[in-house]
């Protein structure tokens, strides 16, 4: 657990550096006089459509890496490990097929977006290079996670992408706001992370292009294809569920409201950074624990991930919600973005629910019941697609937020029940209740103390007071067993520096 804790902390720190650049980018995208809401919305459309195409091109290959890498590591020398080579060749085939499909169904895109979001159609084909580098970077990222090196790929995905975006915004401003040049360069952003990660793997002597199929691949090929089939279907369902909100808003309301929803999503997703770090670190550990039938480790990771992520998510959400109105007013954002306040609230609650249920998806995905990942994803899709279409048409962007909250509550509840019945695993303890009570208590005190302070001084005062109160009570009541080791590690490092 100490390895997971250490890498999670380092990865979270590096990813928050990325979020700092992301916050700067979001501010520049939304501030009056730089980008229009439609232009900002197009950058978000690139990401959403690119991820949607990635789902088709990826063939579920990352799951093959996660599931089978321990076997390749234990039974093959590095220079004969053909796992990465085979998955990259499979991804290349998937990409070619996806581009073919994207060209054939261009007319469908025209019908869906020509009225409200014509800018998408103008730059539609530039989504394909974005998808290509996203696809191959994600494969290399999965492989790097599997060998136990999570810090660099996490930094590249979060900080590298956002720093490159900042650089492009600067180019956009100094070139007289040449948006055509900006969006074409934006389509190549993942190329930087892709080539850096290749170089990193080469330095680690982990990147080998193997031309001969190994005996292990021949032995596991049927199980690999079975896993790919189920996970591929599940990933299509999952990515479709994640994409439908923005696409529905862009189709029914236009790119400007798509930009508002994405801005709100970005603010709400700040609280998810520790979850991303923990997932990247825990996948390899869980995969090996299942291989060795180490249920004690699996149960410990499940309980602690739930408790720690719930504690962190409540902490971060409270800071955001205490200061939201003052921050939006003080940053002089385009007036349209004020309409996203309650979208932030609902999406943040969804994230708290998702984080508070721990790494249930990763436990299921690395177990022998990985097919259930597909089935639960189908349920999610069946909920989120019709709810988005109905609620967005009727209520606009707040309808999409409600559909996300309802769908993900049901989705995580299904996973909780499954793990309880199959393995008698459940993540909640009495400490879970105390974390919620403590968070609500600290929030209420700070809210009523500084309710009338709406300027930057109020933001600083609220944040400082809440952090002091929340952290001190969490340490005093020992709400997580990982708090004390973290404190000791910090003290040790400070003594070494002195």
The domain tally of the chain equals: 1
User: Could you tell me which residue, 28 or 14, shows the higher pLDDT?
Assistant: 28
Per-residue model confidence as pLDDT tens digits over 43-58: 888 888 888 888 889 8
**Sequential DSSP letters for 328-381:** HHHTTB-GGGGGGHHHHHHHHHHHHHHHHT-SHHHHHHTSTTTHHHHHHHHHHH
Residue 300, pLDDT > 80, answer yes
The pLDDT assigned to 132 comes to 96
CB 454 within 8 Å of CB 329: yes
- Distance between CA atoms of 148 and 3, rounded to whole angstroms? 10
- Distance between CA atoms of 251 and 336, rounded to whole angstroms? 18
User: Could you tell me which residue, 322 or 119, shows the higher pLDDT?
Assistant: 322
How would you class 232 by CB atoms within 10 Å of its CB: exposed for 0-12, middle for 13-18, buried for 19 or more?
buried
Q: Which two tokens stand for residue 457?
A: 């001084």
- Distance between CA atoms of 128 and 99, rounded to whole angstroms? 7
Confidence of residue 345 (pLDDT cuts 50, 70, 90): very high
Per-residue model confidence as pLDDT tens digits over 441-489: 999 999 999 887 777 888 899 999 999 999 999 988 888 887 766 666 6
457: in domain: no
CB 446 within 8 Å of CB 322: yes
Angle in degrees, CA 359, 362, 363, rounded to 5:
85
CB 28 within 8 Å of CB 109: no
**Strand, helix or coil at 454?**
coil
- Distance between CA atoms of 431 and 168, rounded to whole angstroms? 46
Choice among 3-17, 45-59, 60-74, 347-361 with the minimum mean pLDDT: 3-17
Q: Which two tokens stand for residue 329?
A: 């007013």
- Distance between CA atoms of 407 and 480, rounded to whole angstroms? 29
- Distance between CA atoms of 85 and 66, rounded to whole angstroms? 15
* Residues above pLDDT 90, as percent of the chain: 33
Residue 372, pLDDT > 90, answer no
68: in domain: yes
Q: DSSP letter at 157?
A: I
* Residues above pLDDT 70, as percent of the chain: 90
Matching residue, tokens 């962190």: 312
User: Could you tell me which residue, 81 or 497, shows the higher pLDDT?
Assistant: 81
Cα separations in angstroms, 279 against 20, 317, 414, 444: 21, 20, 19, 31
CB proximity list for 349: less than 8 A, separation 6 or greater? 317, 405
Per-residue model confidence as pLDDT tens digits over 76-96: 888 888 888 899 999 999 999
**CB atoms < 10 A from the CB of 153, how many?**
25
Per-residue model confidence as pLDDT tens digits over 404-426: 999 999 999 999 999 999 999 99
Confidence of residue 278 (pLDDT cuts 50, 70, 90): confident
Q: What's the mean per-residue pLDDT of the chain? A: 84
Highest mean predicted confidence (pLDDT) among 135-149, 153-167, 207-221, 307-321: 307-321
User: Could you tell me which residue, 120 or 294, shows the higher pLDDT?
Assistant: 294
Residue 334, pLDDT > 80, answer no
CA of residue 118 relative to chain centroid, distance: 28
Residue 240, pLDDT > 80, answer no
**Sequential DSSP letters for 278-312:** HHHHHHHHHHHHHHTT-HHHHHHHHHHHHHHHHHH
Q: DSSP letter at 425?
A: -
483: in domain: no
The pLDDT assigned to 51 comes to 85
Per-residue model confidence as pLDDT tens digits over 104-136: 877 766 566 655 667 777 888 899 999 999 999
CB 26 within 8 Å of CB 283: no
448: in domain: no
Residue 291, pLDDT > 70, answer yes
Residue 494, pLDDT > 60, answer no
User: Could you tell me which residue, 304 or 281, shows the higher pLDDT?
Assistant: 304
Dihedral of alpha carbons 223, 226, 232, 235, sign:
negative
User: Could you tell me which residue, 272 or 89, shows the higher pLDDT?
Assistant: 89
Q: Which two tokens stand for residue 398?
A: 């707040």
Confidence of residue 152 (pLDDT cuts 50, 70, 90): confident
Residue 435, pLDDT > 90, answer yes
The pLDDT assigned to 10 comes to 65
Per-residue model confidence as pLDDT tens digits over 168-193: 999 998 888 899 999 999 999 999 89
The pLDDT assigned to 78 comes to 81
237: in domain: yes
- Distance between CA atoms of 107 and 114, rounded to whole angstroms? 10
For residue 364, give its domain range: 2-428
Angle in degrees, CA 409, 346, 39, rounded to 5:
120
142: in domain: yes
**Could you tell me which of 283, 281, 286 has the C-alpha nearest to residue 298?**
286
CB 248 within 8 Å of CB 257: no
Q: Per this entry, what is the length of the chain?
A: 498
**Could you tell me which of 135, 429, 213, 190 has the C-alpha nearest to residue 305?**
429
The pLDDT assigned to 228 comes to 82
Q: Give per-residue burial for 251-282: e unless 16+ CB within 10 Å, then b.
A: bbbbbbbbbbbbbbbbbbbbbbbbbbbbbbbb
87: in domain: yes
The pLDDT assigned to 215 comes to 86
481: in domain: no
Q: Provide the whole-model pTM.
A: 0.71
């Amino acid at each position: 657990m100490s390895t997971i804790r250490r890498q999670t902390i380092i990865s979270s720190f590096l990813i928050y550096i990325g979020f700092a650049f992301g916050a700067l980018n979001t501010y520049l995208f939304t501030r009056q006089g730089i980008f229009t809401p439609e232009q900002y919305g197009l950058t978000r459309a690139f990401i959403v459509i690119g991820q949607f195409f990635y789902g088709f091109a990826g063939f579920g290959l990352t799951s093959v890496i996660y599931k089978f890498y321990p076997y390749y590591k234990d039974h093959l020398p590095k220079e004969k490990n053909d796992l990465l080579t085979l998955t990259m060749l499979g991804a290349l085939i998937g990409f070619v097929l996806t581009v073919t499909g994207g060209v054939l169904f261009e007319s469908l895109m025209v019908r869906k977006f020509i009225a409200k979001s014509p800018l998408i159609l103008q730059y539609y084909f530039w989504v394909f290079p974005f998808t290509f580098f996203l696809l191959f970077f994600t494969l290399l990222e999965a492989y790097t996670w599997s060998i136990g090196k999570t810090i660099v790929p996490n930094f590249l995905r979060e900080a590298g992408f956002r720093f490159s975006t900042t650089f492009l915004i600067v180019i956009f401003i100094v070139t007289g706001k040449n948006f055509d040049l900006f969006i074409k360069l934006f389509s190549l952003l993942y190329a930087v992370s892709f080539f850096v990660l290749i170089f990193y793997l080469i330095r680690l002597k982990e990147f080998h292009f193997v031309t001969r199929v190994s005996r292990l691949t021949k032995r596991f090929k049927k199980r690999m294809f079975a896993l790919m089939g189920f996970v591929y279907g599940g990933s299509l369902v999952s990515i479709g569920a994640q994409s439908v909100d923005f696409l529905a808003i862009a189709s029914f309301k236009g790119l400007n409201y798509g930009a508002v929803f994405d801005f709100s999503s970005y603010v709400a997703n700040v609280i998810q950074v520790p979850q991303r770090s923990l997932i990247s670190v825990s996948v390899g550990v869980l995969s090996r624990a299942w291989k060795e039938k180490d249920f004690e480790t699996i149960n410990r990771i499940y309980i602690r991930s739930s408790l720690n992520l719930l504690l962190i998510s409540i902490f971060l959400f409270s800071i955001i919600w205490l200061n939201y109105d003052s921050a939006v007013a003080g940053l002089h954002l385009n007036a349209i973005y004020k309409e996203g306040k309650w979208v932030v609230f609902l999406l943040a609650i969804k994230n708290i629910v998702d984080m508070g249920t721990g790494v249930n998806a990763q436990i299921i995905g690395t177990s022998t019941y990985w097919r259930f990942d597909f089935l639960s994803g189908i349920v999610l899709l069946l909920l989120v697609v019709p709810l988005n279409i109905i609620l967005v048409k009727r209520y606009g962007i707040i309808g999409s937020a409600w559909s996300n909250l309802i769908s993900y509550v049901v989705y995580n509840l299904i996973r909780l029940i499954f793990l309880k019945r199959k393995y008698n695993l459940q993540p909640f303890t009495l400490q879970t209740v105390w974390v919620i009570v403590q968070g609500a208590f600290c929030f209420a005190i700070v809210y009523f103390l500084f309710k009338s302070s709406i300027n930057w001084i109020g933001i600083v005062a609220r944040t400082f007071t809440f952090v002091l109160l929340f952290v001190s009570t969490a340490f005093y009541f020992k709400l997580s067993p990982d708090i004390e080791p973290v404190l000791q590690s910090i003290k040790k490092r400070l003594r070494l520096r002195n």
